[in-house]
Structure 1
């Protein structure tokens, strides 16, 4: 860029970023590198663009780089300011003489265009939207997919919902501000409406469109914009205009931006221009209206009648801006969906089934005498951890009266299930690595276990939300050992709803290490016999605390999980127990708070889900469970640093980035 240094460009950029983004960009400038929090989300192409000073506006939420908006002509295409829904006119010598009069006639559509703003997101806003249809007391709003997907996600069936923050777990949201003009006051929200549902979010292989719904507003919603009829032909050189919210965009020449925008960005503008290429078979609609980052989702209107001819979605500097045709938008508004979406949504899981009590005959469940060798006179017992009385009294009571109280017995594993939370509180599985049988996963079908009342169990209806996963607590592969028949039966047994925890989908980010713990420990030379007993469960929060778990049909979706892996030591004559949590830090913060540690007030932050190795004694305190049979077998309590921490009352926890960091 001419006439401005890299430092000045970044300084200009910083004035237009949210506070959360400022520190990251300044760090990139000062140190010549990007912080890890950004590196992990950006593609190599995006990283190069940032290091070259391209600016954050050119990077989408998924880390891909794209030319989204652009200045096409360096003179003669001023983006006119809007004040009180009226265009602030400037000389237009490069456009036809009738342009001013046509702009004045088109002003009636200005109130129908708004800025797409976000809730609970690091970005305050990201693009433009406009009303295309009234629906009951609300309205349907059109914008781009690449704008909406910053806060929304597609489900496998092609529908979409608002996503959750990977950091805080808070549900994202969106709104549309139909004002946000140059003279608007910061507290003017009189024309801001919440966008409460995502009616359509295009797949990446479909046109860049999203449809969001205003269900109700406390003001009269603006008139829907009119789409041009599909049988009306456009002509090269016809007058058109963009209505939207251009933001500073470092992909465009700084001097050209300064000339056109005079350092006033992020407000509503009316940008006239001419059609360069009408939409035709195999050709996109292009035009030379001036746009910048923030114009994504702007309507392109024909000035002769004010009708929408396209949805702006991208451009190349000094070449052309491009729109999605009105015909495509009309089809989507009328409920038509691309064939690719229909194909992706056509798959359905097998319907739920049910198993009568007699089906489970001869299931032996978890074997607490499983760990034994020729060096031990008798097996080293691995009893179930004890539950607090208030949890134990709400456990389901299986009709087949197991020897272990409240155990639902399956092949090589057992479950203790809470009727209060509709959640397995503890699962226990025996794993024999040397006798493992690999079973390919087929079509999933989940079952109700009729040994306990069905009203306490979840079903497929509880997992319609794309943000809630049906998570095995006993991994499907873990009990699959022994004879082929036993392994098949064990694999099948894991697909019972009493073994399924409702989990936030964000936990998947941390599951790679979490799911490899048992295999790593079994394969490690310091274990004996390649056998293990693994206990797993959710970490429940006090209902009165600030950490509220999502409730679906009376079921708790826990935000953290614990795991205890018990093996024999290398000599084969004693237990070896290691404990882990899959966490965003809530458990660790609670331990620090309980012990009056200052860390909770001094920037304690762990970010997205991570795996931690923790002391068994600390896990006992955090959960309220009784792990007395295993605390003395914990290697963390035996190393000098662990002993010192425990003596000082500090929790012992190790962030696990790679499996070889585990203390065995």
Structure 2
């Protein structure tokens, strides 16, 4: 099985997410040893509470109560499947470390892809301004918790009211005191162009929700007072004619002040390819992706929740307004910021992924003199 490569970095299985394992891991053998040790620990741990989340006692025969037995059985299957895939991946990484890449079989290939995503390009759960412990490969994130926390607070999902089929649409982030930056495709779901410019579609509303998950009663239904989304989007500043980019207006803050807007890079960083970056967003499952069913099962619990997704910038096409990166956006993460880990400035606006190529974003520094962004008073730094 050969690992593919492209002009902007190789990918696994045609996915736009992760590059070749030898590009992600400096020592594949050490990663294999860590994953194997963790699998052994999991096999020795209590099964029902840890895997299923149920804290109810098992019956006298050691089995779960009948009303939760089906859920436990599903969880058991998922655990066994995950262990099988990762065990195969460990074997594949060990072959890679030994210089035997040509001996990696199909199951090992899928397992290596899973480990690359879990260890090398993870989607780390977020809670408020904090995030779960990263894998050892990304231990550097621990030293940046305060700055990353400030970035997390300024990113939310776009929750809509009055849409015929959707409760939320993509990701957006604060790019000025009363300005939200997202993609044109996100804005087009609840806005439309007319003779005077862009405006909300009749009967539709939108808000920026920075929480980890949707409230119990998402729009357009009634929302309890304690669940009110704090940042109301009141209008459209403009939609860019060339780039996949839209600027939305927030209502003036009332009560508690909003988080500081993110700093938008006014110039390109040096040594862009290979530079460590991170994406913050709400990856969603996407049936159009070509990962095996096994991969979808492994990562299903990462969908539709706020995630910190570290990776690296892989290239830049100035004429095409394209910044490439390999963060594990998993599914539709459009509108998320691509942030420089070195100084926490936003380098790009994530717009999507292309199979066998990589993830693409709008390089925002290329628009530093753009009249639309000047009118919006974007927070250039």
8 Å Cα contact 1:175-1:195 kept in structure 2: yes
Give the superposition deviation at 1:178: 1.3
Distance in 1 (alpha carbons) for counterparts of 2:198 and 2:307: 30
Residue of structure 2 aligned with 1:101, choices 143, 150, 168: 143
8 Å Cα contact 1:237-1:275 kept in structure 2: yes
Equivalent runs, 1:45-194 vs 2, <5 Å: 74=117, 76-93=120-137, 95=138, 98-102=140-144, 105-122=147-164, 123-134=166-177, 139-157=178-196, 159-164=197-202, 171-181=203-213, 189-194=227-232
Equivalent runs, 1:506-517 vs 2, <5 Å: none
8 Å Cα contact 1:140-1:211 kept in structure 2: yes
Distance in 1 (alpha carbons) for counterparts of 2:359 and 2:194: 31
Q: 1:274 to 1:257 in 2, by over 3 A?
A: farther
Q: 1:152 to 1:234 in 2, by over 3 A?
A: farther
Structure 1: runs of 5 or more not aligned: 3-70, 165-170, 337-664
Show CA shifts across 1:349-407 (max 9, x none): xxxxxxxxxxxxxxxxxxxxxxxxxxxxxxxxxxxxxxxxxxxxxxxxxxxxxxxxxxx
Give the superposition deviation at 1:191: 4.8
Give the superposition deviation at 1:257: 3.7
Give the superposition deviation at 1:222: 1.5
Residue of structure 2 aligned with 1:247, choices 267, 281, 284: 284
Give the superposition deviation at 1:101: 2.2
Distance in 1 (alpha carbons) for counterparts of 2:205 and 2:268: 37
| Greater RCO, 1 or 2 (C-alpha within 8 Å, sep 6+) | 2
8 Å Cα contact 1:79-1:290 kept in structure 2: yes
Give the superposition deviation at 1:278: 3.4
Give the superposition deviation at 1:199: 0.9
Distance in 2 (alpha carbons) for counterparts of 1:288 and 1:257: 18
Q: Does 1:311 align with 2:330?
A: no
Distance in 1 (alpha carbons) for counterparts of 2:262 and 2:128: 18
What secondary structure is seen at the aligned counterpart in 2 of 1:272?
strand
8 Å Cα contact 2:268-2:365 kept in structure 1: no
Larger gyration radius, structure 1 or structure 2: 1
Show CA shifts across 1:61-92 (max 9, x none): xxxxxxxxxx9x64521110101220112314
Q: Does 1:221 align with 2:265?
A: no
Give the superposition deviation at 1:233: 3.4
Question: 1:288 — aligned with what?
Answer: 326
What secondary structure is seen at the aligned counterpart in 1 of 2:264?
coil
8 Å Cα contact 2:283-2:302 kept in structure 1: no
Equivalent runs, 1:320-359 vs 2, <5 Å: 320-328=358-366, 330=368, 331=370, 332-335=372-375
Distance in 2 (alpha carbons) for counterparts of 1:215 and 1:234: 39
Residue of structure 2 aligned with 1:208, choices 234, 244, 247: 244
Distance in 1 (alpha carbons) for counterparts of 2:216 and 2:306: 13
Distance in 2 (alpha carbons) for counterparts of 1:264 and 1:77: 13
Distance in 1 (alpha carbons) for counterparts of 2:180 and 2:271: 24
Q: 1:282 to 1:160 in 2, by over 3 A?
A: closer
What secondary structure is seen at the aligned counterpart in 2 of 1:196?
strand
Give the superposition deviation at 1:245: 0.7
What secondary structure is seen at the aligned counterpart in 2 of 1:263?
helix
What's the TM-score once normalised by structure 2's chain length? 0.60
Question: 2:308 — aligned with what?
Answer: 270
8 Å Cα contact 2:283-2:330 kept in structure 1: yes
What secondary structure is seen at the aligned counterpart in 1 of 2:181?
strand
Q: Does 1:196 align with 2:234?
A: yes
What secondary structure is seen at the aligned counterpart in 1 of 2:347?
strand
8 Å Cα contact 1:99-1:239 kept in structure 2: no
Give the superposition deviation at 1:209: 0.7
Give the superposition deviation at 1:163: 1.2
Distance in 2 (alpha carbons) for counterparts of 1:262 and 1:199: 36
Q: 1:154 to 1:140 in 2, by over 3 A?
A: same
Q: 1:163 to 1:234 in 2, by over 3 A?
A: farther
Give the superposition deviation at 1:317: 3.6
Structure 1 or 2: larger helix share? 2
8 Å Cα contact 1:84-1:181 kept in structure 2: no
Structure 2: runs of 5 or more not aligned: 1-12, 14-113, 218-223, 377-381
What secondary structure is seen at the aligned counterpart in 1 of 2:249?
strand
Equivalent runs, 1:453-468 vs 2, <5 Å: none
Give the superposition deviation at 1:104: 5.2
Show CA shifts across 1:329-360 (max 9, x none): 54332139xxxxxxxxxxxxxxxxxxxxxxxx
8 Å Cα contact 1:271-1:291 kept in structure 2: yes
Residue of structure 2 aligned with 1:233, choices 270, 282, 291: 270
Distance in 2 (alpha carbons) for counterparts of 1:209 and 1:226: 17
8 Å Cα contact 2:279-2:336 kept in structure 1: yes
Distance in 2 (alpha carbons) for counterparts of 1:314 and 1:147: 12
Distance in 1 (alpha carbons) for counterparts of 2:190 and 2:284: 19
Q: Does 1:258 align with 2:297?
A: yes
Distance in 2 (alpha carbons) for counterparts of 1:308 and 1:257: 29
Give the superposition deviation at 1:109: 1.1
Q: 1:202 to 1:333 in 2, by over 3 A?
A: closer
Q: 1:325 to 1:199 in 2, by over 3 A?
A: same
